[in-house]
Amino acid sequence: MNRFATSVAASAALFSATLLPAYAEMDVPNLKKSIEASLANDYPKLDALYKELHAHPELAFQEVKTAARLAAEMRALGFEVTENIGKTGLVAIYKNGDGPTIMVRTELDGLPMEEKTGLDYASRDKTTWNGREVFVAHSCGHDIHMASWVGTAKTLVGLKDKWRGTLMFIAQPAEEIVAGARAMLAAGLFTRFGTPDIALALHDGPAPHGMVFYRTGVGSSAADGLEITFHGRGGHGSAPHTTVDPIGIAARFIVEVQSVISREKDPSEFGVVSIGAIRGGTAANIIPDSVQLSGTIRSYKPEVRAKLHAGIERTAKAAAAMSDAPPPDIQILEGTKPVMNDPDVVAAVADVLKVALGDKFKTSPPVTGSEDFSAFAAAGVPSMMFNIGVYDQERFVAARNGGPPIPSNHSPLFAPVPKPTIETGVTAMTLAVLGAFDQKTRRMKETGR
């Protein structure tokens, strides 16, 4: 029994000892050494891939060249690749005997913004987005994820005598508009290619490279969109008594809706309502007919989400009623659910990464941002997303001592240090996949399926 590292494994062993052949323990330190050796060999190619992707990002559902580049990489590794799943998405399958299917997801898309890092591989590319010419940049680090994804695939193929089952590597479009995961599911991701037993993903962020952060349960927020049109009655700005002023109604709503957050929601629970756009009126002396607002609603818990939706609707109706205006048109657009990190999957991955990374593997609080990786858990796949850091430790020390602030994701200055970041991405994800195979294989042996 001492061959088994964890108590879960030990109880599985007790059970299987009488019925099933012994299951070999994962030798994490040796696996880590093999991964590092493989990376020492592969890194120059991953570095070139990363810098090429970084210099030429593509926006949501436009990731044609990016997807083609990844498809070629995966085919060269022996994966069977199907393109155009959910517009520009791709699915790469590698079968290695009987066993569970583990899914690993990367995103493909960049952001409509100008990169200002000054790096020699910075993006200067432009494209058309909503009818306008815009710069494109990988300021969320999805290029780091892609390089880590290819590196993980390569490493796992090299280690194929250490696992049995199927790798399902997917490259998802349009994460930044939280539409790509749904598009791939709608295109038959799980009906055509099978539902994986476990899904894994990583995201980079402003922390020291080498660090890996994880969390059980809620990992990111639910995001819903908000569109409201307040109707009034237009007229001359000098004669407001002949009009119903929708600008005043909208202003009242924007201020009052924050009392849903401060006075109605439990202060210890997370919830945000932000109005990001207001459109109404054309001239100083004209009271317009209507005003439109767009906003975003964020929460972690379904009950908080329901409370915010109800409070927004009530406040909007009341703001209009106070001016004797017609009822507003209120649309709450269901966006994405919170990422739910499955406790069993987290346990399997954490067992391995704690041994491999020691105190560089840490728990972290949920983020207030949203992520459509949640769609795969919502479709019934036990999932885990973890985070990796991207910057030199010294920058954090300098920032604490009054130096330049640390740019976050979506900053024009977001600039991961490629080598240690991608190496950590590959090492952590390869070990996470091996941990997932190990746990799922043991479970299958226990339950006979």
| Residues found near Zn ion in the complex (CB under 5 A) | 140
- Residue (140 or 211) nearer to Zn ion, CB: 140
- Residue (54 or 442) nearer to Zn ion, CB: 54
For residue 429, the minimal CB distance to Zn ion (Å) is 16
**Rounded to whole angstroms, how far apart are CA atoms 43 and 422?**
9
For residue 176, the minimal CB distance to Zn ion (Å) is 5
- Residue (206 or 311) nearer to Zn ion, CB: 206
- Residue (316 or 388) nearer to Zn ion, CB: 388
Enclosing H/E stretch for 306:
helix 302-322
Tokens representing 69 are 């580049």
Enclosing H/E stretch for 28:
helix 28-55
For residue 218, the minimal CB distance to Zn ion (Å) is 17
For residue 142, the minimal CB distance to Zn ion (Å) is 6
- Residue (111 or 198) nearer to Zn ion, CB: 111
Is residue 86 classed exposed, middle or buried when 0-12, 13-18 and 19+ CB atoms within 10 A define those classes? buried
Interhelix angle 64-76/28-55, rounded to 10 degrees, is 140
**Rounded to whole angstroms, how far apart are CA atoms 231 and 292?**
9
CB 277 within 8 A of CB 225: no
CB 194 within 8 A of CB 91: no
For residue 141, the minimal CB distance to Zn ion (Å) is 7
For residue 203, the minimal CB distance to Zn ion (Å) is 6
- Residue (140 or 207) nearer to Zn ion, CB: 140
Q: Which residues contact 292 (CB under 8 A, 6 or more apart)?
A: 227, 228, 229, 230, 277, 278, 279, 280
**Rounded to whole angstroms, how far apart are CA atoms 382 and 44?**
34
- Reference 85, options 61, 59, 58, 57; nearest CA is 61
- Residue (140 or 174) nearer to Zn ion, CB: 140
For residue 409, the minimal CB distance to Zn ion (Å) is 5
Tokens representing 344 are 């069993």
The amino acid sitting at 31 is L
Enclosing H/E stretch for 81:
strand 80-83
For residue 219, the minimal CB distance to Zn ion (Å) is 13
The amino acid sitting at 129 is W
- Residue (202 or 325) nearer to Zn ion, CB: 202
